[in-house]
Amino acid sequence: MTLFDANTLLQVSAAFHGFMALVWLVMSQVFRIAPSAALLLAAGYFSIIPALLCLDCQAWWPAPLQNWLQKLLSLLGFALMTLGIRRMMRLHRRRLDIAGVAGMAALAMLLSIMSGHSAAALAATSAGMGLLTLLAAHDLQTGGRATLTVGVRRFLILPYLLLAAMLLGRSLTLLGMNEQRPFFVEGAHASAWLAWAYLLLTLAIGIGLVGVVVTRLIDRIRYMTLRDPLTDALNRRALGSELQTLQAQAERGQSHCLVMLDVDHFKRINDSLGHAAGDAALLHLVAVLRANMRDLDRLGRLGGEEFCVLLPHTPLADASRVAQRMCEALRRNPLVWREHRLPLSASFGVAPCQTGDPQGEHSLALADWLVYRAKAEGRDRICVAEPGAALGRVHQP
């Protein structure tokens, strides 16, 4: 046996499968990173190992299903990995396509073995694994559209397409044979180049999957650093960054506004019903506000019960109407919490993004002053800044 014959290369592939199975198992059970998807991938890698280590070990299995059981493990491994990729990409598709391909391939294997057509059984195995690989490539392409660039997606699915072509080509080749050939064997000699191809492609697939998870983890960490953990609104730092962008555009003549609001009598909710009720009230408030926002608007939590809505490309008169809708929506939709009906209201301040204010400090200060004026006037109302002035006028609800 030479150093680079097929059996040696397949043993290296089996070792890599074992390593990847442990990696996904640790991700699932220790770090809790995509736990269900990682567990499926770990089970898939483990299932393929016996077929790689023992191509001709039919004696291990009880007759007459010895060949079928060995091939079934490989098919099961590919099915579990395809399902794991689908879960990882958060695709809510039914599993009927995966179960259908795997089930039909398994049935074809069993019928072929029982009828004595071992080459056809191996062809069915290869065809099933090839089709499952194509399904995995399609799921990776579809699920990656939201977070991955076109170039990265193409790079990631390339080894899947090559592996699927190799497996489907192997299936077509086997259908023309009159006797069984183990998976990486040509004639009487092992086909080392096919073993090399399988090893390199599975290395690329394994590293690519880990890269997708790491990228998702980094994106999640970045997302969490910009979000308020309770309400999922932008935190103060992220809101400030968005406001600076609008202020820069305001310098070029574009009209942007911001709406600041503070929940009325919020302390009473915490004092009478506890902080859990206060948290529920904030979540209810955010839901009502978002129902009256556009996709391009941005909602941020400045702290406590104080929030700010950025309204890009919105004149002051339109921003006033948006604040009025929000004020009325809060009044119409009280919070129902543990059989308690809690009316909610807020005091609003509406201000334009002013020129000569790159950090947005003066715009925020004006909106904040208008909120306090609305509270002084009786709460549950809005104050809108006079165009070009630092004073506000009160709008009765």
Does residue 189 carry a pLDDT above 80?
A: no
* Mean pLDDT score of the chain: 87
Mean pLDDT of the region 211-220: 86
Euclidean distance between CA atoms 275 and 62, whole angstroms: 64
- State residue 277's pLDDT score: 93
- State residue 24's pLDDT score: 96
Q: Could you report the per-residue pLDDT of 255-300, keeping only the tens digit for each? A: 999 999 999 999 999 888 899 999 999 999 999 999 999 999 999 9
Residue at 62: amino acid letter: P
Best CA proximity match to 165, nearest among 204, 125, 107, 126: 126
- State residue 323's pLDDT score: 96
pLDDT above 90: percentage of residues in the chain = 64
Residue at 340: amino acid letter: H
Q: Could you report the per-residue pLDDT of 131-172, keeping only the tens digit for each? A: 999 999 999 999 988 788 899 999 999 999 999 999 998 888
Mean pLDDT of the region 215-231: 89
Cα 338–chain centre separation: 33
Q: Are the C-beta atoms of 362 and 377 separated by less than 8 Å? A: no
Number of helices (H), then strands (E), belonging to the chain: the values are: 12, 10
Q: Could you report the per-residue pLDDT of 312-337, keeping only the tens digit for each? A: 999 999 999 999 999 999 999 999 98
- State residue 395's pLDDT score: 45
At 180, the pLDDT band (50, 70, 90 cuts) reads: very low
Mean pLDDT of the region 76-91: 94
**Greater pLDDT, 32 or 352:** 352
pTM exceeds 0.85 for this model: no
**Greater pLDDT, 371 or 7:** 371
- State residue 123's pLDDT score: 87
Residues with a catalytic annotation lie at 305
- State residue 397's pLDDT score: 46
What φ, ψ does residue 178 adopt, rounded to 5°?
A: -100, -5
